[in-house]
Structure 1
Amino acid sequence: MTFDWSIKLFAGLPERLGTASIHMQTEGEEMNALDLKTAIISLYPEHKAIIQTAFIARNHAYAADTTILRFSDELALLPPVSGGEGATEDMERYVITSDSISSDDVLAKVIVPEHGAAITFVGTTREWTHGQRTVRLEYEAYAPMAIATMRQIGDEIAERWPGALCAISHRIGVVGIAETSVVIAVSSPHRDSCYEASRYAIERLKQIVPIWKKEIWEDGSEWKGHQLGPWNPTAQPTNN
């Protein structure tokens, strides 16, 4: 008896591998995540380097190499993420959308009477980077998992800074020069924790939320990863 496996691909992977998803058959109904990556590499050996740096996601959660997967799971192969799609919402505090984002609307989600401080981080598309002119950015997300990991960031913030609230909205699709791609709003009883939690949120978003950006230049384009060193979204956050 054989079992049919399906693995979704995101960001530059469909372009590199020439398909939006990988379909393969095995004689067993289970394998660990490392074995699955090894099987994918055997199908696409010329792309071994990028596959090795990618992570397997199982049912909207990152899977460690030893995690057991079943053929019936929802599986995805995720390249390193960027900071920063059809819209999805979670309690309206964690949003992926193709529409423009209002920083005032995101901030309003965390304003509560018992908090004396609130801060908003707004990420926009800049025109020049290292002497190269960007025409636009294109964002892509694994939306269900992006919402889940945004919620995880909010939970981590609430644990580290008791009482703090977080809201995150991120765009997908085309984002032009000077347009907003992400808004993160944080509120807390006191300003010190508010500043700290806001910085934590954007850095953590770049580390674990499966959102990718494609930089479109005047003379070419490139998918960008998180650019924060070795990518390990399953690692625990460091203490501030």
Structure 2
Amino acid sequence: MKLFAAAADAVGRRTLEGDWAGRTTAQLLEILTQQYPNLARLAPVLSVAVNREYAPADRVLADGDEVALIPPVSGGADDPEPPLFAITTEPLSADEIAARVTNPHSGATLVFVGTVREWTRGRRTVYLEYEAYPEMAVAQMEQIGREIAERWPGARTAIVHRVGRLEIGEASVVIAVATPHRADAFEACRHAIERLKQIVPIWKKEVWEDGEAWVGSQIGPDWMHQPLKE
């Protein structure tokens, strides 16, 4: 089992071994919260992913399933140049990502760049740290691309998110959408960023001058910063 962000902090490690075949995901959560009291505080907002897809509470686990605990998250085969969906540790270039979606059929290309801001609710941020479940994150980004293509015919989408330590002013995410008409580009790009925040397993830790916390975890700070076991 893989654990990320606040869930990994709660357990004190990033992987767990166990035989959960025949159990439902709800039963799995119950077992884990009994074994790891710190995880119980996070349980109401946890999701379970099975084989890189969100799983319902009654999903029965089988041998060989890839299971992950997911805290709340802060192109077709015939396309010769498919849209780009990626997780990277490298600095992002809005121009390069926009170039992946611009095509002769598009009348508008809209680019959204999310950057690290210094002040949030009166508190100064020193830097941010992003973590992702890369394989599932890319799969969910691809789903967003399919949603956009179905809702806005002719749209092409690229989403690239950076992980690791990001300094103030650096780009954390770039979304580029190209559509035949400009109104669709604005609507599709907004859909992309909102859905990314809802379903893509990427987490943000805010590091301040006087502390740090995973955004959206709704948990106390006492146990959050213990070293993780390998």
CA-CA distance at 1:23 after TM superposition: 2.4
Percent identity between the two aligned chains: 50
TM-score normalized by structure 2? Answer: 0.88
SS in 2 for 1:23: coil
For residues 46 and 151 of structure 1, the distance between their equivalents in structure 2, rounded to whole angstroms, comes to: 33
The alignment partner of 1:21 has SS state of coil
Post-superposition offset of 1:41: 1.3
Deviations 1:205-230 (A, max 9, x none): 00000000100101110101399xxx
Match of 1:206 in 2: 197
Q: Which residue of 2 aligns with 1:105?
A: 96
Does the CA-based 8 Å contact 2:11-2:38 persist in structure 1?
A: no
Amino acid in structure 2 at the alignment position of 1:115: S
Matches of 1:61 and 1:133 in 2, distance apart? 36
Tell me the matched-pair count: 212
The alpha carbon displacement at 1:45 in A equals 3.2
- Asked whether 1:43 is paired with 2:35, we answer yes
- The answer (yes or no) to whether the contact 2:71–2:217 under 8 Å persists in 1 is no
Structure 2: distance between partners of 1:119 and 1:226: 32
Q: Distance in 1 between matches of 2:33 and 2:188?
A: 39
Shift of 1:35: 1.2
- For residues 62 and 213 of structure 1, the distance between their equivalents in structure 2, rounded to whole angstroms, comes to 20
Q: Which residue of 2 aligns with 1:22?
A: 16
SS at the partner of 1:162?
A: coil
Q: Do the aligned partners of 2:42 and 2:217 also contact (CA within 8 Å) in 1? A: no
Hey, what does 1:238 align to over in structure 2? Answer: none
Partner residue of 1:129 out of 81, 95, 120: 120
Structure 2 partner of 1:81: 73
Residue 33 (structure 1) aligned with residue 25 (structure 2):
yes
Counterpart for residue 10 of structure 1: 4
Q: Which residue of 2 aligns with 1:215?
A: 206
Q: Determine whether 1:151 maps to 2:142.
A: yes
2:10–2:36: 8 Å Cα contact kept in structure 1?
A: no
Counterpart residue type for residue 140 of structure 2: T
Q: Distance in 2 between matches of 1:148 and 1:60?
A: 8
How far the C-alpha of 1:25 sits from its partner, in A, is 3.8
Greater Cα offset, 57-66 or 38-47: 38-47
Report which of the two has the higher share of strand.
1
CA displacement 1:178-219 (0-9 Å, x = unmatched): 000000000100011110000000000000000001001011
The residue type paired with residue 15 of structure 1 is D
In 2, Cα distance between equivalents of 1:76 and 1:143: 12
Q: Does the 8 Å CA contact 2:133/2:201 hold for their aligned counterparts?
A: yes
Q: Give the conservation status (yes or no) of the 8 Å contact 2:10–2:38.
A: no
Q: Structure 1 length normalisation: TM-score? A: 0.84
Q: Which runs of 5+ in 1 are unaligned?
A: 1-6, 83-89, 228-240
Contact 2:97 2:174 in 1 (8 A): yes
Separation (CA, whole Å) in 1 of partners of 2:186 and 2:51: 33
| Contact 2:83-2:101 at 8 Å conserved across structures | no
- Measured on the aligned residues, the alpha-carbon RMSD in Å equals 1.7
Q: 1:163 aligns with which of 154, 157, 166?
A: 154
